[in-house]
Amino acid sequence: MRLTSIDGSFLELRITGYQFPDGLVLPSGRTVMPDWLDVTGQVRSPTTTWTFSFPCLHADEAVTLGHWLLAAATEGSVRERIAFTEPNVSIELVARSDVRVTLRIHLTQEACPPGESDEVRRGDGYSVDLTIDAAALARASIDWQWEARSFPVRT
């Protein structure tokens, strides 16, 4: 899924697989199937471009993200900010009109640009504002939902 702003900034997220595709063997010998997803991101802000890769979404959170983005695009009821168990990526709805949506992408810890201080990484993080055509956001959210369906909750 790629969210591209009218100024050329963007966030691209891809699910690359389960963190533990074959499950995880516990000390007891029992195998469990954790549903953490490896996510690769590419970000362009007005000042820098970088990539990150980290297991930062649970399978059910990936589905929730798709629904939240679609609601933001279509003027549905939506919480102002969506955040996840792992704080690497969160998204805030800043403004919305009939034709455009402005999202503030918050990136912390492993999702921060290389070279950011620990204070930024572990604090409020790095933010990128994206002003996106509402129809393009709706299409991207549907693309994300299809991608997330390939990685269902297994437990």
For residues 45 and 9, the answer to whether their CB atoms sit within 8 Å is yes
Which residue would you say has higher pLDDT here, 4 or 77? 4
- For residue range 16-26, list pLDDT tens digits in order: 999 999 999 99
CA geometry: angle at 15 spanning 109 and 23, to 5°? 90
Confidence of residue 77 (pLDDT cuts 50, 70, 90): confident
Q: Are 129 and 102 in contact (CB under 8 A)?
A: yes
3-class DSSP state of 66: helix
pTM of the entire predicted model: 0.93
Q: Is the pLDDT of residue 75 over 90?
A: no
Give 28-51 pLDDT, tens digit per residue.
998 888 999 999 999 999 999 999
Res 155 pLDDT > 80: no
Q: Phi then psi for 73, rounded to 5 degrees?
A: -75, -30
Structure-block tokens of residue 30: 């029992």
Match 């963007």 to its residue by tokens.
10
